[in-house]
Every structure is written in structure tokens, then in C-alpha cells.
Amino acid sequence: MTDLFQFSRGTAPLLISIPHLGSQIPDAQRPHMTDVALQSGDTDWHLDTLYQFAQALGASVLGARYSRYVVDLNRPPNDESLYPGQTKTGLCPTQAFRGDALYQNDAVLTDTERAQRLEAYWKPYHAKLQEEIDRIKAEHGTVLLWEAHSIASVLPRLFEGKLPDLNIGTSDGASCAPDILAAVHEQLNGCKDYTWAVNGRFKGGYITRHYGSPADNVHAIQLEMCQSTYMDETYPYGYRPDLADKVIPVVEGMVTAALRQTTARQR
């Protein structure tokens, strides 16, 4: 057992990764952080609850326990920009998505501190992710890696206007086979209650881009969904069953369709 992430092993060729699920901040870090930071507002809240349907699909589920304010598990270890020319949130962010300072007196992290966080938090999550991908591939011959994310629907510092409710990213088609993406696309075409986009503003973060390799039978898809579809977007970020119960079947339909197509490719 580890307190760095939560993990449950499944029986299907499906791995759901939730790298921004965590909201914990280490005790040693807390005295240096602002009140905004201590609320861990940019967490992908409640996705472990939203994705409970995955257990019935036989999915393995990996979710972080610590906040992205400690280190962002979905950013490259060298902190290069995933979207050049656009506002960057960073490997060890010093500002929240809305621009608020995360550290008192606008403190700047040292290279040593960044390296320590990379070693202590980033590397163990990715080691577990790779270990499970390898295990699933060895057992099933193929892997569907579903990257589960959520975000506030309106963030003027980062995006113009309101985001689509459901955002699918496959690194412009590089991280999964076309027929798997087509299966998800078909589900979206039948979705009348939510707006959506495929490889629009969100093309997949580091995990999708790094691990997705269709030639090696590892197919990665990221879903970035607006938090307004299932929760309150303001503190204390409450889960809204009245909203969630409507969007869960849509998300489940996409995951199920992608999994079905992934397994069909191996027959």
C-alpha cells in the first residue's frame, strides 16, 4: 500500500487513470501556501465517484491522492509546454487556473524542490501506470488507457468563453487507433444534451501523448469534462447527483464503446 495513489486491479484490458483526483497537500508544504492553494480548487473532484461504473466493466483504476499543486502528474518531467503559445499551468504550478497565487509572498520554487517533488510524487505514479499497462498488455495483448479529467467550465485566464461539456483528446489521432476514436465519436453524435469537441482545445496531456501508442496496441484517450455537468464549480465543490446521474450514462457509453472496439481489434 502507498498513500501516494489509490489503485484497484481489474480483469479487462481497460485502465482508467485519474492523475488530478488528489487534493492532499503535504504538511511541510502547507505553511507556505495561500488560502486559495489550501482549498486545492483545481482538483478533478469526485471523478472516482463518477467513474464507479468502471468496476462493472472490469477496469483497473489508478487515482492520485496528492494535489496537482504539489506536482502535476499530467505534465512532462522537463516541464515543456504541451500547448506552445498558450498560458502554461506547469509541472509545479505557482498560480491557480484563475491566476491566484498559490504561495505566500509569491514565493518561487527552487530547482531542488521541483526535483524532490518529481522524485517523490511524479515518478511513483508513472511507474505504477507503466507497470499496469505492461501487465494488461501481457495478459490481453492490448490496452485501452482512459485518462479521466474535469475542469471548471469558464476560465478566462486559460480559455475564451465556455468550454464544451465533453472534450475528447487523442493527440490529433496519434494516441489511439482511428476505429476506437470513431466508436467514441459515434457515441457523441448521439448525445443531444451536451456540447462536445474532439481534439479541439484539449488534445490530451502528457499521459495520453506519452503512453498512447497504437502500433504497440496501447490506445490512449483523454476525456476532459466540464465540472458543471456533475458538481458545483465553487467551493466547497459539492457533488451534484441530480447532474451526475444524467452525464454518467454518456461517459459510460463512450468508455464501453471504446473498450468494445479495443477488444474487437484483437480477435
Find the domain containing 257 and state its range: 5-265
**What pLDDT score does 206 carry?**
98
pLDDT digits (tens, 9 = 90+) for 89-108: 899 999 999 999 999 998 88
CATH number at residue 198: 3.40.630.40
Contacts of 172 (CB under 8 A, 6+ apart): 199, 203
C-alpha cell at 218: 496501447
How many domains are contained in the chain?
A: 1
Residue 193's pLDDT is what? 95
Q: At a CB cut-off of 8 Å and minimum separation 6, what does 56 contact? A: none
pLDDT value of residue 267: 62
Question: What sign has the CA pseudo-torsion 234, 239, 245, 250?
Answer: positive
CB 123 within 8 A of CB 56: no
For residue 147, what pLDDT is reported? 98
What pLDDT score was predicted for residue 230?
A: 98
| Best CA proximity match to 145, nearest among 78, 69, 219 | 219
Residue 118: C-alpha distances to residues 75, 112, 122, 128 (Å)? 11, 10, 5, 14
Q: For the chain, 267 residues long, give each residue's pLDDT as a single digit of tens.
A: 479 999 999 999 999 999 999 999 999 999 999 999 999 999 999 999 999 999 999 999 999 999 999 999 999 999 999 998 888 889 999 999 999 999 999 888 999 999 999 999 999 999 999 999 999 999 999 999 999 999 999 999 999 999 999 999 999 999 999 999 999 999 999 899 999 999 999 999 999 999 999 999 999 999 999 999 999 999 999 999 999 999 999 999 999 999 999 999 876
Distances (CA, A) of 14 to 79, 112, 265: 28, 36, 14
pLDDT number for residue 1: 42
Instruction: Confirm whether pTM is higher than 0.95.
Output: yes
CA distance 90 to 257: 33
d(CA 266, CA 243): 36
